[in-house]
């Protein structure tokens, strides 16, 4: 287990290769198991791509199930219902949250913008960062290496790693 914790995980679709990870997981399920995983977890980490399927994945119902729990979102803001999250934190239902994402981002026209239309900054049970937690020297190094490796694979007519599937939207 990770840091002495039991690890529960959900995948959009469980494949044969995922079953090899069962020895490190307490539970491996699919989206239909979300409620079960929330109920049995103290910390919920959301790490999904933003797609039509995941937008609003965590809403009012799911947040109510998280009473006294901690929520960590390293995906995109809109994966979690903004209003419901603010209310859950403000009312103390959620013990706390760490959100490495904004709900609103600056644009060329509007340079200064609040990360949300709600006053998350007034709450003492949330930490928010603008999708930067993964920006480390090591991550940059690995990204550059990955791009280089893929260029070499393409040059030799091989299949590159981490291809985007338009049907899956990631």
Write down the pLDDT at residue 3. 80
Flag whether 164 is in a domain: yes
C-alpha dihedral, 6 to 11 to 16 to 17, nearest 10°: -70
Exposure class string for 123-150: b at 16+ Cβ within 10 A, else e: beebebeeeeeeeeeeeeeeeeeeeeeb
What is the distance between the alpha carbons of residues 72 and 5, in angstroms, rounded to a whole number? 16
Q: Where are the beta strands (DSSP E) in the chain?
A: 8-11, 27-30, 43-46, 70-73, 96-99, 126-128
Sign of CA dihedral 21, 70, 138, 153: positive
For residues 92 and 147, state if they share a domain.
no
For residues 126 and 150, state if they share a domain.
no
Number of domains in the chain: 2
pLDDT per residue as tens, the chain (170 positions) = 568 889 999 998 888 888 877 778 889 999 999 999 999 999 999 999 999 999 999 999 999 999 999 999 999 999 999 999 999 999 999 999 999 998 888 888 888 888 899 999 999 999 999 888 888 999 999 999 999 999 999 999 999 999 888 888 88
For residues 102 and 161, state if they share a domain.
no
For residues 49 and 121, state if they share a domain.
yes
For residues 117 and 62, state if they share a domain.
yes
Write down the pLDDT at residue 52. 93
Flag whether 3 is in a domain: no
Write down the pLDDT at residue 145. 97
State the residue range of the domain holding 50. 8-134
For residues 121 and 65, state if they share a domain.
yes
């Amino acid at each position: 287990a990770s840091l002495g914790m039991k690890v529960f995980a959900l995948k959009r679709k469980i494949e044969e290769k995922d079953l090899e990870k069962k020895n490190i997981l307490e539970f491996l399920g699919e989206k239909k198991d979300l409620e079960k995983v929330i109920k049995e977890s103290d910390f919920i980490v959301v790490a999904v791509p933003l797609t039509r399927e995941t937008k609003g994945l965590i809403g009012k119902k799911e947040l109510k199930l998280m009473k006294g729990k901690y929520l960590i979102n390293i995906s995109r803001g809109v994966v979690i219902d903004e209003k419901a999250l603010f209310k859950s934190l403000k009312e103390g239902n959620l013990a706390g949250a760490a959100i490495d994402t904004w709900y609103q981002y600056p644009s060329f026209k509007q340079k200064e913008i609040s990360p949300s239309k709600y006053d998350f900054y007034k709450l003492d049970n949330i930490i928010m960062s603008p999708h930067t937690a993964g920006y480390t020297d090591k991550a940059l190094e690995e990204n550059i290496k990955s791009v280089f490796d893929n260029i070499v694979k393409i040059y030799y007519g091989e299949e590159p790693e981490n291809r985007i599937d338009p049907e899956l939207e990631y």
